[in-house]
Amino acid sequence: MSKGPGKGGSVQTAAGGTTPVRTAGGIEYAKSDRAVRDGDVAVEVSVSKLDAAWQKDDGYHIPPGGGSDKQKYQNAKDYIAKPDKGPVKMAQVNLDASGNLSVSDGRHRLAAIRDTGKARVWVTVSRAQAKKFKAEFS
């Protein structure tokens, strides 16, 4: 079961504020400093639904096993496997005007989480797209 805001504590941001820690599938997540700065909101989504949409992003989707930059992928897997290092930064995702999914930050983290077999993941999206993401990817 996933924890919502406030149930997993909080972490300090680079700007001196805090952001809640959220949990899904035994992994703790926190917004990146970039997501906090951009005013993005956290949304819990289905890994399989997100990956199905992401596969359409030619050249940017990372296939099982890590794709071309195996070191970044392995670093993400290693970080996820060691929860004492702190929460995993949520990937920033969005839908373009045609409804296509893109990952602006966190592609290797998403691929590593997918490849561990997790069913749910926390991501950040613009406030304007949050409702659509919840409807399409939850």
Question: What digits encode the pLDDT tens for the residues 59-70?
Answer: 899 999 988 889
The CATH number linked to 68 is 3.90.1530
Reduced to 3 states, what is the DSSP secondary structure of residue 88? strand
Main-chain dihedrals φ then ψ at residue 73, nearest 5 degrees: -60, -45
Residue 4's pLDDT is 45
pLDDT band, very low/low/confident/very high, at 56 (cuts 50, 70, 90): very high
Does the residue 100 lie in any domain?
yes
Does the residue 117 lie in any domain?
yes
pLDDT band, very low/low/confident/very high, at 2 (cuts 50, 70, 90): very low
Number of folded domains in the chain?
1
Does the residue 61 lie in any domain?
yes
Q: What is the pTM of this model?
A: 0.90
Reduced to 3 states, what is the DSSP secondary structure of residue 32? coil
Q: Is the per-residue pLDDT at 29 higher than 70?
A: yes
Q: Which of 14-18, 50-54, 61-65, 80-84 has the highest mean pLDDT?
A: 50-54
What is the average pLDDT across 111-134? 96
What is the average pLDDT across 45-62? 94
Does the residue 7 lie in any domain?
no
Poorest-pLDDT segment among 3-7, 40-44, 101-105:
3-7
Q: Please give the distance of CA 92 from its chain centroid, rounded to a whole number.
A: 6
Using a pLDDT cut of 90, give the percent of the chain over it.
Answer: 76
Residue whose tokens read 């899904």: 24
The parent domain of residue 89 ranges over 22-137
Mean pLDDT of the chain: 90
